[in-house]
Amino acid sequence: MALTDATMSSDVALNTDLYELTMAQGFWESGMREAEGCFTVFFRECPFEGGYAVACGIGQIADLVENFVFDEGSIDYLARVMAPGGGPMFKRGFLDYLRDFRMRVSVWAIPEGDLAFPREPMVRVEGPLIDCQLLETALLNLVNFQTLVATKTARVVHAAEGHPVSDFGLRRAQGPDGGLSVARASYIGGASSTSNVLAGKIYGIPVFGTHAHSWVMSFPTELDAFRAFARSSPKNCVFLVDTYDVHQGIRNAITVAKEMEGAGERLAAIRIDSGDLAKLSKETRRAFDEAGLPYVRISASNDLDEYTIQSLFAQGAPIDSFGVGTKLATCDPQPSLGGVYKLSATRASKDSDWEPVIKLSEMAYKRTIPGIQHLRRYLDASGCPVGDMIVDDACDRGGTSMVDVVDDLVSYDLSGLEVREVHEQVVCDGRRSGDVEGIEVARSRCRESLMRLDPAVRRFLNPQIYPVGLEAGLAQVRRKLATSEHANSRRG
């Protein structure tokens, strides 16, 4: 799916922060058109105080790179942007450069749907410094939000214990593009369907929906409304029973369900969208079973999240499926992943050697990892991941000991374990690497990865921290660079 097939603007290259363009102009004017950079995308803490994240948005990176062009309308607009101090912000020569611009980057990433952990390179971008810089904002926009949504969905699906979860979040999402991103990422994260019809068309996600309270309110009585809907949609018949009174709604639903049986049809389910869902679902189940309608399922909605669903099952609620909207689409209570895009190495040209670089900070936790990083995942005999090692081949000592990514006084021994290279190349010199991978593949990968993850890491309350560390040679390079940069900063 190309980005322009969705509702996104075709001006992909302008979907960026202004400073990416001003820096690109500065590199161009400083004679650094051949200079190259390596950037990594990572986050510092797992979302929702959890133990993992589901990498998502990766499947759209190749489309982003291939469609990253400045058309004449974009060039004309940039020519009209004025600098605060007066005059055009962008020079004619730079705009001519952008007119013929095509991305030449190469990109490696954690496969979409696989698990990611704090501070490890989720995406690595190499190429001309100008290209890498121009790509930053749009790439983060893809990966940050979808990773957050996929992770939230995975948690909700885990709480649902195998019962279907449908994305009902479109009306509360952050605009049309946000609604599409939610539908895509939530499906990869494990949702069974979406209410978003456009997402169904674009991504092939199963769509689901029946009727709202307004349907019931549009008829003289609730019974009339149920009968009319059963006639209209006998093969997709779910009654919303809480418009006026749930208990009467259940009785009316039973009446119509019996009438449907007489016509050779079946009521699929009822949905409860308010009240004490645990209590009401128990009463509903009992009423339908006593009426000889055990096949009628119970669906619940109403501001659900993983904790609410977990609580409902702890109370013995006989709920068969869930519609999760607001708290999924807005990723309540954490609206941002906080993923960043940081320079980790530079070289003067494509034929030069890479030089690792490091960013220091007044806050130690913001110190970056240098080098051309890739990721090794160590697995136990059953295939369960037990630790991730960040490696730079230029300084790799070939050992199985790693230094904790945050606390260099802590180390891990990964000897005797199976090792798997995590990163896969998704773009080579500006073009897609390999065939397009459908979201069904990413969805299956997510499911398999979560099944293999230690339950102690997956749990909601105080999850165990998954070990992420630096290969010993890379840890030494980081220490040397940090020491050197501190010394240089003191000299001014």
CATH number at residue 82: 3.20.140.10
Mean pLDDT per 10-residue segment, the chain (492 residues): 44 94 97 96 97 98 97 97 97 97 97 98 98 98 98 98 97 94 98 98 97 98 98 98 97 98 98 97 98 98 96 98 97 96 96 94 80 98 97 96 94 97 98 94 98 98 97 96 75 54
Query: What residues have CB less than 8 Å from 115, skipping those under 6 apart?
Result: 52, 53, 54, 55, 385, 449, 450, 453
- Does residue 311 sit within a domain? no
Q: How far apart are CA 127 and CA 427, in angstroms?
A: 11
Q: How far apart are CA 12 and CA 78, in angstroms?
A: 14
- Does residue 197 sit within a domain? no
Residue 418: per-residue pLDDT: 97
Biggest CA-to-CA distance, the chain: 89
- Does residue 62 sit within a domain? yes
Dihedral pair phi/psi, residue 385, rounded to 5°? -70, 140
Residue 400: per-residue pLDDT: 95
117 and 42 Cβ atoms separated by less than 8 Å? no
Of 297, 316, 347, the domain-final residue = 297
- Does residue 440 sit within a domain? yes
pTM flag (> 0.85):
yes
Q: Which tokens belong to 426?
A: 């998704």
- Domain that residue 282 falls in: 210-297
Residue 485: per-residue pLDDT: 77
Pair (126, 19) in one structural domain: yes
Cα-based distances in Å from 225 to 3, 217, 238, 241: 41, 8, 12, 11
Cα-based distances in Å from 282 to 278, 287, 383: 6, 9, 40
Q: What is the DSSP letter of 101?
A: -
What is the number of domains present in the chain? Answer: 2
Pair (265, 408) in one structural domain: no
Pair (18, 80) in one structural domain: yes
Query: For 485, what's the count of Cα atoms within 13 Å in the CB-facing half-sphere?
Result: 16
Residue 10: per-residue pLDDT: 63
- Does residue 412 sit within a domain? yes
Q: How far apart are CA 342 and CA 324, in angstroms?
A: 35
Q: Which residue has the tokens 């070939």?
A: 398
Pair (120, 236) in one structural domain: no
Pair (257, 380) in one structural domain: no
Return the CATH number at 277: 3.20.20.70
Angle formed by the axes of helices 129-159 and 306-314, nearest 10°: 20
Pair (245, 142) in one structural domain: no
Q: What is the DSSP letter of 11?
A: -
